[in-house]
Amino acid sequence: MSVYKAEYIWIDGTEPTAKLRSKGKVVPVGEEPPIWGFDGSSTNQAPGEASDCVLRPVFTCPDPIRGGDNILVMCEVLLPDMTPHPSNTRAACAAAAEQYAGLDFWFGIEQEYTFFTGVRSQPLGWPDNGFPAPQGGYYCGVGSDEVFGRPVVEDHLDACIDAGLQIAGINAEVMPAQWEFQIGPIGAPAVGDHLWVARWLLYRIGERHNVAATLDPKPVEGDWNGAGAHTNFSTNAMREDYDACIAAAEALKGNHEEHIANYGDRIERRLTGLHETASYEEFKYGVSDRGASVRIPWQVARDGKGYIEDRRPNANCDPYKVTELIINTVGGAAS
Ligand code: ADP
Ligand code: MN
Ligand code: MN
Ligand code: MN
């Protein structure tokens, strides 16, 4: 009997920021990856005396690590009665997308992250004592004195492409050892599925290079940029009409606190009003404004249609939660 390997990936119950877990299953060729389970008492998802949690596959793709016919299986976590587990944020995201399917939301999420060395636990390429030169030359930089970790970034980009993920690009970021990749444009909850798998691939490829990627929103205190997950989005109306883009920004303004509360742990450390952010305590939007909560790209203002960028989400946000909130806030105001 011939078989393939299916790596089941899920989101655990770690507070305040969930982690990814995965385990491998050998499946006979010709069979779909089945519903499976795990020990929820080891992932902060169940008590020891009733530890079983259910893994239901929601998205599969080729496994670029193992190659061949092997696959990655993104799962949602269910209780044994097959209802969503409290840690399952995908179910509500899928419901919101279903409710507002007529608006045809698209999302493009810019995932920023920082490399740390495995042993010393400091940003990759930073000196043992003191700090690198101040920010200025690192963003989209080139050269061994400017960028740190490019081999990992290139391996990760290839892996995302080989997996068939909707990856849009990569770039080196403002803080040395900080990078970004973008997923999208694609609908929800698919953007969350692809982003969580891309995060898993980043960590998994980091193992090969002995480099740890972190989504810490403020990995180094002081005059160093934090890490965000700018969430670009559009509806069918926004893609046709500038007024709909403004209406979406106004809708977000009306629900600022709820979004901030769900955009990632320690968001107040990152959204200080400095380092290309608006303070978490205010909401403002503007054309080309990287100090705003929401930026309207200049091409969108010129063309009179397109999309807007919610710059508030942290790198450590849950994309299912972020997209669910945007769909409900913007969709609710539009209908
Ligand atoms: P930035 O200039 O902020 O660095 P990026 O180029 O990193 O922007 O990311 C822009 C993201 O917006 C990409 O992921 C892209 O796929 C996405 N995007 C482009 N057009 C749309 C659209 N109409 N709706 C939603 N997302 C879009
Ligand atoms: Mn970007
Ligand atoms: Mn960026
Ligand atoms: Mn951006």
Q: Which of 113, 180, 232 to mutate to test the pocket of ligand 1 (most atoms within 8 A of CB)?
A: 232
202, two tokens: 């980043």
Report the separation in Å between the CA atom of 301 and the middle of ligand 2, taken as the mean of its atom positions: 18
Ligand 1 site, residue 108, Cβ cutoff 6 A = yes
Contact 228, 315 (CB under 8 A): yes
Ligand 1 site, residue 233, Cβ cutoff 6 A = yes
Report the CATH superfamily, name and number, of domain 3-87: Glutamine synthetase, N-terminal domain (3.10.20.70)
Ligand 1 site, residue 107, Cβ cutoff 6 A = yes
Contact 170, 111 (CB under 8 A): no
CATH dotted code for 97-334: 3.30.590.10
How high is the pLDDT of residue 13?
A: 97
User: Looking at the chain, which residues constitute the CATH 3.30.590.10 domain(s)?
Assistant: 97-334
Q: What is the mean pLDDT of residues 105-109?
A: 98
Distances (CA, A) of 35 to 19, 31, 73, 276, 306: 21, 12, 11, 44, 40
Task: Give the residue, by CA position, lying nearest to ligand 1 atom 8.
Answer: 110
pLDDT band (50, 70, 90) for residue 136: confident
Q: What is the mean pLDDT of residues 237-264?
A: 98
Is the pLDDT at 1 greater than 80? The verdict is no
The reported pTM is 0.97
Ligand 1 site, residue 228, Cβ cutoff 6 A = no
Give the pLDDT confidence of 266-279 residue by residue, as tens digits: 999 999 999 899 99
How high is the pLDDT of residue 118?
A: 65
DSSP tag of 222: S
Q: What is the mean pLDDT of residues 25-31?
A: 97
User: Looking at the chain, which residues constitute the CATH 3.10.20.70 domain(s)?
Assistant: 3-87
How high is the pLDDT of residue 122?
A: 86
Is the pLDDT at 10 greater than 80? The verdict is yes
Is the pLDDT at 33 greater than 80? The verdict is yes
Question: Could you identify the residue written with the tokens 């587990």?
Answer: 85
Average pLDDT, the chain: 96
pLDDT band (50, 70, 90) for residue 119: low
Q: What is the mean pLDDT of residues 96-125?
A: 92
How high is the pLDDT of residue 55?
A: 98
Ligand 1 site, residue 112, Cβ cutoff 6 A = no
Name residues with Cβ closer than 5 Å to ligand 3, which is an ion: 180
Q: What is the mean pLDDT of residues 294-311?
A: 97
Q: What is the mean pLDDT of residues 135-143?
A: 92
Give the pLDDT confidence of 223-239 residue by residue, as tens digits: 999 999 999 999 999 99
pLDDT band (50, 70, 90) for residue 335: confident
In percent, the amount of the chain with pLDDT more than 70 equals: 99
218, two tokens: 């403020």
Give the pLDDT confidence of 39-69 residue by residue, as tens digits: 999 999 999 888 999 999 999 999 999 999 9
pLDDT band (50, 70, 90) for residue 127: confident
pLDDT band (50, 70, 90) for residue 322: very high
Give the pLDDT confidence of 181-215 residue by residue, as tens digits: 999 999 999 999 999 999 999 999 999 999 999 99
Contact 232, 239 (CB under 8 A): no
Question: Could you identify the residue written with the tokens 């995201």?
Answer: 93
Q: What is the mean pLDDT of residues 329-335?
A: 94
Q: What is the mean pLDDT of residues 138-157?
A: 95
Distances (CA, A) of 294 to 96, 229, 238, 243: 22, 12, 15, 15
DSSP tag of 219: S
Task: Give the residue, by CA position, lying nearest to ligand 1 atom 12.
Answer: 108
